[in-house]
Amino acid sequence: MSPSQSLLELLHGNWATQALYAAAELKLADLLIEGPKTSDELAAATQVHAGSLRRLLRALATIDVVRELPANRFELTATGQLLADNTPDSLRHWVIWWGHNLWPVWGNLIFSIKTGRSARTLLTGSEGFGHLERDPATADVFNKAMAELTTLAATDVVGAYDFTRFRQIVDVGGGHGQLLAAILRASPSARGILVDLPHAIEGATRYLHDAGLSGRAQCIAGDFFEAVPGGCDAYVLKSVIHDWDDQRASRILENCRRAMPGNSRLILVERIMPTHLDSSMEHRALARTDLSMLVALGAGERSEADFRALLSSAGFELGRLVTTEMAYSLIEALPR
Ligand SMILES: C[S@@+](CC[C@H](N)C(=O)[O-])C[C@H]1O[C@@H](n2cnc3c(N)ncnc32)[C@H](O)[C@@H]1O
């Protein structure tokens, strides 16, 4: 590609986000999962404008989400199947989160670059995760979106670190419990506590119950800026610290430190920013999540040195650092 083609390709790539979002919102994959259908059948089932839906389907065919067959019929590809609802590898809610909830926030990136502040706060007046407490429908999308991403990574994370030596494990800001469930499955004699804000607790309780783990897992509504449960062997925080600036991240870690016995372990599951970014897919993904944390929360990804300094300021020393295939690292820290 010439430089101009390359630039225009990057610039215009965002149409795919909205095409995927429209497909996810209309549940096209659920309608196609049993087999091919015509665009008219799909339009009747979703009650949308038939001609426009046909154009959307043909556009989705160009990005390998569906395949166009003779006689105006369309079938799902392997990529398109990920848009189906409630399948084990579904990413439908993540697509809705990006295409609907994060889209206007990203549209104000320039505000965050100028000020270092969250564009979501600019748009909603709400800090951190407060908007979810007031808006159950958005909380539902967010929690399911996080659950889908964490399901993708959980096996890798649990395989990369020996959780079997712990008897009591707390997942701080544990969302709907996908990581805690994976840890408890790998550690049959361990018990778990999941702490999160009220918006996540019903879903977490249901998920852990359906996973057959309610006998070993307890879900507690709590605020990690106030306190976390004391006396456990391991404190796991996945994708939590990157949501907060240093001051607030420090407060969460200090509360963990206060709750932790001397021989317990803190385990952060986070992406680590390398010193130098190149144009590889991995580094693009890191840059994207870093800016996404900026626009959404006024926060960002950290380097190893950043984590070392943050942990030290909260009374920890860095232990082992383990990387996984899904770009997450497990950062083990010991109370000092
Ligand atoms: C990015 S999500 C990560 C969820 C989960 N650890 C995962 O990786 O799937 C951050 C989580 O922190 C929770 N959280 C935010 N503020 C909190 C607070 N003050 N106290 C407890 N949990 C909080 C959110 O509700 C959300 O579930």
Amino acid 14: pLDDT: 95
Mutate to test the pocket of ligand 1, among 196, 201, 235 (most ligand atoms within 8 A of CB): 196
Cβ contact 31:42 at 8 Å? yes
Atom of ligand 1 nearest to the CA of 243: 1
- β-strand pairing of 316-323 with 168-172: unpaired
Ligand 1 pocket by C-beta < 6 Å: which residues?
128-129, 146, 150, 173-175, 195-197, 200, 222-225, 238-240, 243
Predicted local confidence at residue 325, as pLDDT: 83
d(CA 107, CA 199): 26
- Can you tell me the distance from the alpha carbon of 319 to that of 308, in angstroms, rounded to the nearest whole number? 10
Choose the residue to mutate in 91, 118, 126, 129 for probing ligand 1, maximizing ligand atoms within 8 Å of C-beta. Answer: 129
DSSP string of 312-336, one letter each residue: HHTTEEEEEEEE-TTS-EEEEEEE-
Q: What are the tens digits of pLDDT across the range 45-60?
A: 999 999 999 999 999 9
Active site residues per annotation = 242
| HSE (side-chain half, CA atoms, 13 Å) at 80 | 29
Location of structure tokens 């507690």: 220
H helices of the chain, in order, are 3-12, 15-25, 28-32, 39-46, 50-62, 78-81, 92-96, 103-106, 109-115, 119-124, 130-134, 136-159, 178-186, 198-210, 246-259, 281-297, 304-313
Residue 50 is predicted with a pLDDT of 98
CA 296/CA 105 separation, integer angstroms:
7
Atom of ligand 1 lying closest to residue 175 CA: 27
DSSP string, 225-268: TT----S-SEEEEES-GGGS-HHHHHHHHHHHHHHS-TT-EEEE
For ligand 1, atom 1, which residue shows the shortest CA distance? Answer: 239
d(CA 128, CA 121): 8
CA distances from 95 to 101, 155, 294 (A): 10, 22, 19
Over pLDDT 70: what percentage of the chain? 100
Q: What is the pLDDT of residue 34?
A: 92
Structure tokens belonging to residue 211: 């996973």
Coil, helix or strand for 178?
helix
User: What residue's CA is closest to ligand 1, atom 16?
Assistant: 129
Please give the distance, rounded to the nearest whole angstrom, from the Cα atom of residue 216 to the centre of ligand 1: 21
Rounded-to-integer distance, Cα 234 and Cα 165, Å: 9
- The pLDDT of residue 114 is 98
pLDDT tens string 273-327: 999 999 999 999 999 999 999 999 999 999 999 999 999 999 999 999 999 988 8
Q: Using one digit for the tens of pLDDT, what is the confidence trace for 78-97?
A: 999 999 998 999 999 999 99
Which regions in the chain score pLDDT beneath 70? none
Which residue's alpha carbon is at the smallest distance from atom 12 of ligand 1? Answer: 173
Calculate how far, in angstroms, residue 171's C-alpha sits from the geometric centre of ligand 1.
10
Residue with tokens 């429908």: 137
Q: Mutate which of 146, 178, 251 to test ligand 1's pocket (most atoms within 8 Å of Cβ)?
A: 146
The sign of the torsion formed by the CA atoms of 331, 332, 335, 336 equals negative
Backbone angles phi, psi at 311, to 5 degrees: -65, -40
Give the Å distance between the CA of 222 and the centre of ligand 1.
10
Q: Is the dihedral of CA 5, 7, 9, 15 positive or negative?
A: negative
